[in-house]
Amino acid sequence: MNESALLKLLDHICGTVSVVGSMNADYTVTTEHLPGPGETVVGGPLRVLPGGKSGNQASAAARIGADVRLFGAVGSDINADFLLSALHEAGVDTSRISRVDGASGTTVITVDEAGENTIVYSPGSNAHVSVDYIQSMRDDLTSADVLGLCLESPMETVTACARLCHEAGLKVLLNDSPFIAELPGELIETSDILLVNEHEMAQLLGIDEPDDDDWDGLDWSSMAQHMHDFGFEQAVITLGGDGSVVIDGDDIHRIAPVKVDAIDTTGCGDAFMGTVLAGLAAGHSLANSAQLASYVAAYAATGLGAQASYGTAAQVRERFSVM
């Protein structure tokens, strides 16, 4: 599909997305370079921005037009209202989010002048997203078209979500992030699509990474077979600035990167995931959804922060239609 036709898919984002997981207040500082062990560096002004992988994914999907429901928990601190307000502004339905005593989830992020980052995650209220809570939300959770999961919630909760939605006939997209090499068998069995980066794929499948970082030269047919043997007929492998690869049964699609001058890559992977969820909910193919996600994620890289950098469908279309 050519670029013009692909971007027109942004006019046809519909369907309902359920996202279960995390919301975090991101404490972000920019520096000339990332500090090494024991090193102190001088940073710019501290910014507190809305984040959390699940909140980010929900926000990205909602901003481009999907009907998005987020399930999770915030704390009793000042960050709770801040996070909910940002999600509401993005168009996310937050009515099912619970409140618990204590701190909301937080991250401490350092971003260098090249847009690379380091992140430290403190779960806070995200650790209280329980199986009982998910069971109480069963009807609302399963009356969607697709479910998005990451691993910033307790594993038993993530697995329960996948099982409930799989049994209800939803397409389940699992983002193995923060990365865990040993995924529970039940989670693999009840998830339909796996989203990982190239390094995570290598660890999961027990393969050697190419010495020259030449992922294009990899035997992707062999990788697809390894992925099938692992338990996934469909998968998306992101390659950073080199685009992505979509495995869809026996078909392999190489998705070209969208080049921009990056300011901050924080949350770009979540923008990618959220767009894939929105595309699938709208009935688009996995390959077209991932191709569209490349544009949405590239747009996000041109702004600071995660949710704060996400564009609407109109903004993304306008940014890249003139290239």
* Residues that are catalytic: 270
Whole-angstrom Cα distance, residue 208 to residue 206? 7
Residue 270 annotated as lining a ligand binding site: yes
198's tokens: 């190239």
Residue 264 annotated as lining a ligand binding site: yes
The CA-atom distances, in angstroms, between 88 and each of 42, 49, 164, 200 are: 34, 14, 26, 32
Which of 109, 113, 116, 54 minimizes the C-alpha distance to 241? 116
Residue 152 annotated as lining a ligand binding site: yes
Residue 58 annotated as lining a ligand binding site: no
Residue 309 annotated as lining a ligand binding site: yes
Q: How many Cα atoms within 13 Å fall on the side-chain side of residue 125?
A: 27
Residue 269 annotated as lining a ligand binding site: yes
What torsion do the CA atoms of 126, 178, 14, 240 make, to the nearest 10 degrees?
Answer: 150
Residue 217 annotated as lining a ligand binding site: no
Residue 115 annotated as lining a ligand binding site: no
Residue 54 annotated as lining a ligand binding site: yes
Residue 279 annotated as lining a ligand binding site: no
Residue 197 annotated as lining a ligand binding site: yes
**Cβ–Cβ < 8 Å for 43, 293:** no
Alpha helix positions (H), the chain = 3-8, 53-63, 78-90, 131-136, 138-142, 155-167, 185-190, 198-205, 220-230, 268-281, 286-300, 313-321
Helix (H) or strand (E) run with residue 234 in it: strand 234-238
Residue 241 annotated as lining a ligand binding site: yes
Whole-angstrom Cα distance, residue 13 to residue 145? 12
Annotated binding site for ATP: 197, 238-243, 269-270
Question: Residues comprising the binding site for K(+)?
Answer: 264, 266, 300, 303, 305, 309
Please give the annotated binding residues, written as ranges: 24-26, 52-56, 152, 197, 238-243, 264, 266, 269-270, 300, 303, 305, 309
Binding residues for substrate are: 24-26, 52-56, 152, 270
